[in-house]
Structure 1
């Protein structure tokens, strides 16, 4: 089986775990990892919107290789997969067990969390490329300056430690950053868990849809690959994936929309929380609903329609100005 992945340290670690699980579930299966350098990896200056969002930047090239038959499957971080558009001919064949979905604060040496809280972030620069994280950060630290910050997980931490400036799409520079907000699971995958200065609760910063879940995508008609991937599929992670992504689908959320969603399961019941913010963090609406874990998409639709009833469409429409 040929599995495509990005060349980053984190992506390779995720794909190696898929290969390990497949080898254990199907002894004798030959798994080849095919590395891709996507446009999002080569261009670490532009905003992802310029490349069609995370889907265009990190997913599209590998998906095309699956569609053409050059690959049997593709590894993606689920949060990088667009949820507001059709993916004709492709299906998520497996999701690995969910790792931590939490966001974490990484600080430059000499800075403490108390410094941020005492000053409300005034005088500090926070690096992130995620509009969701930027919006929540503005709610937690109203006076902080958020700067555009790109790179793989380990690269971002190195740039923080080195005091490196971030090149901007307009040719200018920003920084250096005093802190970063990153996925805890990503830091763990690249061996940097010790850099977590603070882990945000879901009440403080609701995770991105799919955060902490590794997905394996394949062709709808490739039944042998689907059979093999089913052997490593984690059912709990998969239904959470379905519920959270249904919210994106109904809201037609795009890469510039600060939308968050996180599902948890207790017994046979699933609880889904989702939110929509404006880019400043000023406007904020949230919905929390529970239902049978066996009907995740129905729960996702219920939560999404509740958000729409509360005014989500108008907030999302405002974030589409840059699209035009």
Structure 2
């Protein structure tokens, strides 16, 4: 199974309109704006059609952001933001973890190679953990409604 990532043109138009409460940054939810599409490897006709949608820079950005998320081991409601881009042939990423109430945050920036996006994502995730991201993520964990009724 393969993967193609497309970047809808509307993403740039909406980026400025959305206020996600991030401190003077352009980050949003990690992976936002990327649409993963899977296809059977032997389905060459579909692959040919999908290859025209592939956007290499978006695919690379999604991979580095995903590697950071995996390193942080956040949950579905984790206040994690990330933004990766290709700039002058270099992969540039900023990632942050916020307190649910916005009272605190940790942030990390890095530059790496577009040929090895996972390394940069993991490094930034480790840097955030060293700054206390795990505590911010844990504090934002959703309360299990069933446990409160036990």
- Please report the TM-score for the alignment, with normalisation by the length of structure 2: 0.80
Matched residues in 1 for 2:27 and 2:55: separation? 22
Which digits, 9 at most, give the CA deviation of each residue in 1:187-224, with x for residues without a partner? xxxxxxxxxxxxxxxx3452111222222134xxx212
Matched residues in 2 for 1:270 and 1:236: separation? 9
Report how far residue 103 of structure 1 moved. 4.8
Q: 1:243 aligns with which of 55, 61, 64?
A: 64
1:102 aligns with 2:15: yes
Which residue of the partner structure matches residue 86 of structure 2? Answer: 265
In structure 1, list runs of 5 or more residues that go unmatched: 1-90, 107-132, 140-202
Which residue of the partner structure matches residue 305 of structure 1? Answer: 126
SS of the aligned residue for 2:94 comes to strand
SS of the aligned residue for 2:75 comes to coil
Q: Select the structure of larger CA radius of gyration.
A: 1
1:97/1:213 contact within 8 Å kept? yes
The RMSD of aligned alpha carbons is 2.4
Count of aligned positions: 139
Which digits, 9 at most, give the CA deviation of each residue in 1:55-108, with x for residues without a partner? xxxxxxxxxxxxxxxxxxxxxxxxxxxxxxxxxxxx6611113632725259xx
SS of the aligned residue for 2:124 comes to helix
Report how far residue 231 of structure 1 moved. 4.4
Q: 2:41 aligns with which of 190, 205, 223?
A: 223
- For 1:1-324, what aligned pairs fall within 5 Å after superposition? 93-97=3-7, 99-100=11-12, 102-105=15-18, 133=20, 136=21, 203-204=24-25, 206-218=27-39, 222-225=40-43, 227-228=47-48, 229-323=50-144
Matched residues in 2 for 1:209 and 1:225: separation? 30
1:245/1:300 contact within 8 Å kept? yes
Tell me: CA distance 1:287–1:103, structure 2 relative to 1, closer, same or farther (3 Å): same
- Please report the TM-score for the alignment, with normalisation by the length of structure 1: 0.39
